[in-house]
Amino acid sequence: MLEKNLSIVEEKVKQACIRAGRDRSEVTLVAVSKTKPISMIEKVYDCGIRDFGENKVQELIEKQDVMAKDIKWHMLGHLQTNKIKYISEFIHCIHSADSLKVIEALEKEGAKKGVILHILLEVNVAMEDSKYGFELSEVQPIIDSFSKYPHLTLEGLMTVAPFVANPEENRAHFRNLNKLFVDNIEKKIDNVNMSVLSMGMSNDYEVAIEEGATCIRVGTEIFGRRNYN
Ligand X SMILES: *Cc1c(COP(=O)(O)O)cnc(C)c1O
63 binds ligand X, rule: CB under 6 A: no
- How many of the chain's residues bind ligand X (CB under 6 A)? 14
CB of 112 to ligand X, least distance (A): 26
Spatial neighbors of 37 by CB under 8 A, at least 6 apart, are: none
167 binds ligand X, rule: CB under 6 A: no
What H or E segment, with its residue span, contains residue 16?
Answer: helix 2-20
126 binds ligand X, rule: CB under 6 A: no
**CB-nearer residue toward ligand X: 1 or 190:** 1
Where do runs of H (alpha helix) occur along 134-219?
136-144, 171-185, 205-210
Member of 24, 148, 220, 224 binding ligand X (CB under 6 A): 220
Member of 160, 161, 192, 197 binding ligand X (CB under 6 A): 160
Cβ atoms of 216 and 13 closer than 8 Å: yes
**CB-nearer residue toward ligand X: 139 or 208:** 208
119 SS3 class: strand
- Please give the Cα distance from 225 to 131 (Å, whole number): 21
Member of 29, 34, 106, 181 binding ligand X (CB under 6 A): 34
What H or E segment, with its residue span, contains residue 117?
Answer: strand 117-122
118 SS3 class: strand
Member of 9, 201, 207, 215 binding ligand X (CB under 6 A): 201
**CB-nearer residue toward ligand X: 76 or 157:** 76
**CB-nearer residue toward ligand X: 114 or 228:** 228
- Please give the Cα distance from 95 to 174 (Å, whole number): 16
- Please give the Cα distance from 26 to 66 (Å, whole number): 30
The CA-atom distances, in angstroms, between 177 and each of 20, 37, 71, 77, 139 are: 17, 33, 28, 19, 10
- Please give the Cα distance from 136 to 122 (Å, whole number): 10
**CB-nearer residue toward ligand X: 113 or 131:** 131
CB of 77 to ligand X, least distance (A): 6
**CB-nearer residue toward ligand X: 159 or 178:** 159
170 binds ligand X, rule: CB under 6 A: no
218 binds ligand X, rule: CB under 6 A: yes
55 binds ligand X, rule: CB under 6 A: yes
94 binds ligand X, rule: CB under 6 A: no
Which residues inside 173-192 make contact with ligand X, applying CB under 6 A?
none
- Please give the Cα distance from 77 to 57 (Å, whole number): 8
Binding site for ligand X (CB under 6 A): 32, 34, 55, 76-77, 160, 201-203, 217-221
